[in-house]
Chain A
Amino acid sequence: MKTRMLTLAGLLLTGPALADPDDDALVINGEIEIVTEAPAPVHLSDVFDTIYSGWRYRNDETQVMESDDFENPGMLGVEAARDDWVEVAGTEEESCASCHGEPEEMAGVRPVYPKWNEDAGEVRTLEMQINDCRTSRMGAEPWKYAGEDMVDMVALISSVSRGMPVDVATDGPAQSTWEAGRDIYYTRYGRLELACANCHEDNSGNMIRADHLSQGQINGFPTYRLKNAQLNAVQSRFKGCIRDTMAETFEPGSPELVALELYVASRGNGLSVEGPSVRN
């Protein structure tokens, strides 16, 4: 009897250790300190006390790949985007660099996107803003919303903000879009009738088959996934998640996914920008 009780106690002790995010700390290149755990934003306070980067749910081998830019294959995309950054494209004979200088001058941009654009009267993702630059300023063709050129460029712009806290605005003119995103987050989709919240709130920390469910934070996007060995745009991931509920999905760049991105980004306000991250 005594033995059995001890065993039970052991199970209870090891249970939470398996389910919770781990206690590892992330410092990239030995210099960029990444905040992977922060107090939950006020609008989430009845759901979580603490928010965690998805990095904390991965195993050590995956984690270490993000700790050094050389070992992070996502940085290949960043380097490719540096070539695009200085490449003159379109009829106006301009490159990104013509207006913005070095990519490093974009530090601070990623943390506040998606963001209300007053002139356009809409909430814009970084992708939308990049394509607006390409079409209206450069006279160039827009990139495919979640195509390789675009995801590489978003990775470059994210990379120069790594370590800065995500800080998207949820109020003011962005509020209605944010609320639309929140509605999508809590709507059950597909034949499996699953909302984002069913996995990433109700079951975060639990195993879904062999996969450790995170809170579904997007501070690490674009993310290099071991699964497909390439950089993945956040809205491609949304599409994949919704598809997995056996639903007709929204397309990357659609108003629904733009709203969802704003809302999900706001759930990570306070975590560091991490992209390009490495995930499974």
Chain B
Amino acid sequence: MQVTRRDTLALGLGAAALAALPLRAQTANANIEAAILDFTGDAELADGGVTLTAPEIAENGNTVPIKVEAPGASEILVLAAGNPNPQVGRFAFGPLAASQYASTRIRLAQTQDVIAIAKLEDGSFARTSQEVKVTIGGCGG
């Protein structure tokens, strides 16, 4: 099943639960919606076609290795749903990119979903996400 952003919004607005969300979470959700809209132009988001590799548990949220890959994609957008600013990075692949993957290291403020959205060869969009648990260390040291 594919859920468009409009569907998601409609569902969200219809749910009384939204009102119970803390203001900060609501703001964050709005920021993500805006970031996705900006990238996709409100197109449908399919499952499949983009993969995200991230640790299930990060030893420290300050440096979390991730890899995104979407064969044939022209661009991949990475978002972190639980960060104060959900934008992480946007990777545009040129004609001399041998593959459409990139690895980097990112900051995660808390346990949250990392989201990757790819603009595929045919102009359609694919989305995937993975939860990364960010642990609180025992010793600040």
Contacts and interface: CB of A to CB of B under 8 A. Distances in A.
B141 A210 contact: no
B139 A62 contact: no
B14 interface: no
Nearest to B133: A210
Contact of B55 (A61, A209, A213, A227): A61
A189 B87 CA distance: 44
SS of B interface (majority): loop
B58 A61 contact: yes
A207 B138 contact: yes
A137 interface: no
A240 interface: yes
Nearest to A199: B139
A226 B60 contact: yes
B59 interface: yes
Interface size class of B (residues with CB under 8 A): 10 to 19
B137 A227 contact: yes
Contact of B139 (A60, A65, A241): A241
B59 A240 contact: no
Interface residues of A, number: 22
Nearest to B134: A210
Q: Which of B59, B135, B136, B137 has the most CB of A within 10 A?
A: B59
Interface string A183-204: 0000000000000000000000
Interface string B55-72: 101111011110000000
B137 A280 contact: yes
A227 B62 contact: yes
A162 interface: no
B139 to A, nearest CB: 5
A211 B138 contact: yes
Contacts of A244: 139-141
Given A61-B65, A226-B63, A210 B140 contact: no
Contact of B136 (A210, A228, A237, A240): A210
Contacts of B62: 226-229
Interface in A246-280: 280
Contacts of A211: 135, 137-139
B43 to A, nearest CB: 33
Interface of B: 55, 57-60, 62-65, 135-141
Shortest 5 CB-CB contacts between residues of A and residues of B: A208-B138, A210-B135, A211-B138, A240-B141, A226-B63
Interface of A: 58-62, 65, 207-211, 213, 225-229, 237, 240-241, 244, 280
Given A228-B62, A244-B141, 11 more contacts: A59-B59, A61-B58, A61-B59, A210-B135, A210-B136, A210-B138, A227-B137, A227-B140, A227-B141, A240-B139, A280-B137
